[in-house]
């Protein structure tokens, strides 16, 4: 292989999916590109069986960060662990590769990859997994200060489920199910979750809700019109004929998958690029 790309995603579903799609596009263009896709052991369990080209292979690092299934409960600690605990095992993976890397393609958030690349004299390309408009906001942030828009005074302002959920969807009428997923990067408060659950119960709408660690607690509130799961194949769900709508936090990956599937949105943006995406 003439070119060996080492890909390092930020450990979140939207970021992993986006970088994997880029890698698949790269290897489809030239046969002499090899990609080593580096994820945690937990993430390897999530995606390791997914179909991929032969010249994309996986390498794993230990589970040195909190589990994907519970990280939303304390996202600040998760981010800190990502920035401080993944660097050393990632560098060890680079040292153990049989073919030296030509380039590292790393999610912008995992900025330590640049430090590692500089130490090992490997070029690093930053991969932005969110929308171009949100990137433009960061790129031109100096203009906000220059034009007097910043600072702003804001004082006083306020997988065991895999077969079961697919089989359940197969039994529902066309466009009758509301799919709900609020992502895993920013968390919905417990009070908000209960309000959403009560609204679902009162509406009588059938639903499939990815609630992760809240699934057991919310089951009693929601009633028996829907299904709560800790994890699902989101694109496969959105492409299912029984899905009629998507209540989403407006993460960029979720928006792209829903647009691709032709599913209308109910938007519940939480932060970062999501309010802008919602508009």
Question: What are the tens digits of pLDDT across the range 153-188?
Answer: 554 433 444 458 898 999 999 999 999 988 765 567
Give the per-residue pLDDT at 187.
65
Task: Name the strand (E) or helix (H) holding 201.
Answer: helix 190-203
Query: Which is higher by pLDDT, 232 or 87?
Result: 87
Contacts 24+ apart (CB under 8 A), 234-241: 234/13, 234/181, 234/210, 235/17, 235/260, 235/261, 236/166, 237/165, 237/169, 237/179, 237/208, 238/179, 238/263, 240/166, 240/169, 240/177, 241/174, 241/175
d(CA 250, CA 238): 14
Stretch 138-154: mean pLDDT = 69
Phi-psi region of 119 (alpha: psi -120 to 50; beta: other; left: phi over 0): alpha
pLDDT, the chain, mean: 85
Helical packing angle, 87-96 and 75-85, nearest 10°: 40
Which run of H or of E encompasses 172? Answer: none
pLDDT for position 184: 62
Beta strand extents in the chain (DSSP E only)? 3-8, 33-40, 56-61, 103-107, 124-127, 177-181, 206-210, 226-229, 243-248, 265-267
What confidence score (pLDDT) does residue 87 get? 94
pLDDT of residue 159: 46
Average pLDDT value for residue range 113-139: 89
**C-alpha–C-alpha distance, residues 222 and 205, integer Å:** 10
DSSP state of 72: G
208 touches 237 (CB < 8 A)? yes
Q: What is the mean pLDDT of residues 125-131?
A: 89
Return the pLDDT at 12. Answer: 87
Q: According to the model, what pLDDT value does residue 36 have?
A: 96
pLDDT of residue 156: 43
Residue 241 has pLDDT above 50, yes or no: yes
Q: What pLDDT score does 215 carry?
A: 63
The answer to whether the CB of 165 falls within 8 A of the CB of 208 is yes
| Measured distance CA(31)–CA(72) in Å, rounded | 39
Partners of 6 in beta bridges: 36, 104
All domains in the chain, ordered by first residue: 3-129 (3.40.50.2000), 164-278 (3.40.50.2000)
pLDDT of residue 270: 80
**Confidence band of 20 (pLDDT split at 50, 70, 90):** very high
Per-residue DSSP letter, 212: G
How far are the Cα atoms of 79, 101, 181, 255 from residue 186, in angstroms, in the given order?
Answer: 11, 33, 12, 16
What is the rounded distance in angstroms from the CA atom of residue 28 to the CA atom of residue 32?
Answer: 10
Listed ranges 66-75, 110-119, 160-169; the one with the highest mean pLDDT:
110-119
- Please give the pLDDT value at position 214: 65
- Of the listed ranges 25-34, 199-208, 266-275, the least confidently predicted one is 266-275
Q: Identify the H or E element spanning 187.
A: none
Identify the band that residue 253 occupies on the pLDDT scale cut at 50, 70 and 90: confident
- Using a pLDDT cut of 90, give the percent of the chain over it: 41
pLDDT of amino acid 21: 93
> For position 163, what pLDDT does the model report?
59
Q: Which residue has the higher pLDDT, 3 or 146?
A: 3
């Amino acid at each position: 292989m003439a070119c060996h790309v080492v890909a390092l995603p930020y450990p979140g579903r939207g970021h992993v999916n986006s970088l994997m799609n880029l890698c698949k596009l790269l290897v489809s263009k030239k046969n002499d590109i090899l990609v080593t896709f580096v994820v945690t052991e937990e993430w390897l369990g999530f995606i390791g069986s997914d179909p991929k080209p032969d010249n994309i292979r996986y390498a794993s690092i230990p589970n040195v960060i909190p589990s994907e299934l519970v990280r939303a409960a304390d996202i600040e600690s998760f981010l800190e662990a990502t920035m401080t605990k993944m660097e050393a095992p990632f560098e060890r993976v680079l040292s153990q590769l049989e073919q030296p890397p030509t380039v590292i393609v790393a999610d912008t958030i995992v900025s330590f990859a640049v430090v590692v690349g500089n130490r090992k004299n490997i070029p690093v390309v930053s991969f932005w997994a969110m929308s171009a408009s949100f990137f433009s906001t960061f790129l031109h942030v100096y203009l906000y200060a220059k034009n007097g828009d910043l600072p702003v005074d804001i004082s006083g302002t306020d997988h065991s489920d895999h077969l079961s959920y697919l089989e359940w969807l197969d039994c529902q009428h066309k466009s009758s199910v509301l799919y709900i997923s609020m992502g895993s990067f920013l968390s919905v408060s417990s009070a908000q979750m209960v309000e959403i659950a009560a609204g679902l119960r009162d509406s009588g709408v059938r639903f499939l809700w990815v609630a992760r660690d809240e699934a057991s607690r919310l089951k009693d509130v929601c009633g028996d019109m829907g299904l709560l799961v800790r994890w699902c194949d989101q694109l496969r769900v959105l492409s299912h004929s029984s899905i009629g709508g998507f209540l989403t936090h407006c993460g960029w990956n979720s928006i792209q998958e829903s647009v691709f599937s032709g599913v209308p949105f109910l938007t519940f943006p939480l932060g970062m690029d999501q309010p802008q995406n919602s508009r």
